[in-house]
Structure 1
Amino acid sequence: MKAKKFWFGIFLGVLGIVLFSSKAVMVKIAYKYNVDAITMLLLRMLFSFPFYVVIAYLYRNKKQEIVTTKKDYAWVVIFGFVGYYLASYFDFVGLTYIKASLERIILFVYPTIVIILNRLFFKQAITKIQTTAILLSYLGIVIAFSDEVDISGNNVYLGGFFILLSAITYASYLVGSGWLIPKFGVVKFTAYAMLVSCFCVFVHFSIIGHTELFNLPWQVYGLGFLIAFFATVIPSFLVSASIKIISSSNFAIVAGIGPISTIVLASFFLNEQLTLLQFFGAILVIIGIVITSLKKAKEK
């Protein structure tokens, strides 16, 4: 029975990671209809908004052992702005310049950024194994990108820069919000932070958006819903359930399929192809991140 439950947890984790990975592919498909980054992000948030409102409402009275204050709610606003709004916006902008498969390779390094930020701000030591893993990951990115620049030109640098900003802002959110999650609970905190992000995107679009929101191709609305429901809401709960069943250390191994699944999906739906050198770089990144994540999990 335990073995069945464990493999069910693996299945949930794999499904969650694959669904998360599909986001970049669907965004790239949407861009073929001449829609810009902020419009796609708006559609993602519009379709996600009702789900998180319901979740926030259902969990509103769920008590935690630690009492929350007005200051805690202010921090939720800050981390919702940084972790879900800025990180998502940078990601969507970066995808206008680079392949979906390369986007996932860069985003996948956020655990190494978490380690670096913890060292800079909280003086947490970085072990030799972690240092090696970090260097391995960034070597993989350099290899993948240097080859892509030769193929696609210098716009790849700009796209890579925005995706790296997305990884940094998301890592900052993880580092800063860790002490808040026990106060609210994972589900309530995520719902609140996502609602903050939705409002930020709504304001952003109202200021700079120039798209006629009700005059888009039906395919764009469909992709917006798919991104919101199947690549945002559903996988967030699948991943949480998987970690609960199989532990974070085992999930770190499962998460290694993220870049690979994006590469496969991008090849099938977008006809994107990685060179052998880029695939080698991706493997280095995956190995480095899995080592980093396993090391962190053992320390908990």
Structure 2
Amino acid sequence: MRWVTYEAGEGIRTGVIDGEAVQGLAAGTTLESLLASGSLAEAGEDARRAPVEVRGLDEVRLLAPLRRPPSVRDGLCFLEHLRGCYRALGRHGDLDPVWSQSPAFYFANADAIVGPYDDVPIAPGSAMFDLELEVGAVIGRGGRDLHPDRAEEHIIGYTLYNDWTARDHQVVDMAKGIGMAKSKDSAITLGPALVTVDELESYRRDGRLALELSATVNGEELTRGTLDQVDWTFGELLAYISRGTDLPPGSVIGSGTVPRGCLLEHVDTAELADFKRWLQPGDVVSLRGEGLGETQQTVTQGIDVIPLRPAG
């Protein structure tokens, strides 16, 4: 099923896509609540058999399928993306062995989620705003201490994920050394739908989902790749994330960026600030995923920053 959250002038609703229509459930139903109660499949059958309303896709505005999930974590499953970022920063040579010993992830801001067609303001004070092409896995059955060979069984579906990043703020975050903060705090795009795993089985190759993924800026393709290029699978990432902690239903886990799926990897100047392709107001960013659909968003002007006094 292709689950969506939508607005059609009478409040926010949840439903499933059937052809060119959305078959909606009762007002007040959310994907978060259906996942928490374990009733997503039953609700999907209700939506198909006896929808509360039916609307054409052209009559609704699609929102993020999960607007406020219980948690969001973003992994780094494509090590070639990391190598590309390091090259842009003038760092060459082999990766530190720690990157091959366990997956990496950080906690992202669930309150920053935006829909697949929403405008995205540049992060306050940023002059180096970037996109990141990713896939988000959504947990259907919770668990902890998952086994890497079976952890993917806990995934209910997938969605496109854009990890908007302020690269100049990221330089500050990295200098402080306690993890991602304001660089990753302004927006995360999910959508246009939560596509359940059964809908995507035809794209599986040698046990991995081989979804073709691409990103464009103003119609110019930035990158194209496939999800099965990952060095760390979702099963391995979920096993690592769930060590000693609960992973509740509705949690969203990002794959990390498809190689060359961000502007940073295309930097061709000695100084990051001299790069001319950082996102500007009016730029249109689109992500596409085989079986997942497409997002299309316009970048807008961000707000001015209120200065803080120096400490100490």
Which band: TM-score by shorter chain?
Answer: under 0.3
**Which gives a bigger RCO, structure 1 or 2 (Cα 8 Å, sep 6+)?**
1
Flag the structure with higher helix content. 1
Flag the structure with higher strand content. 2
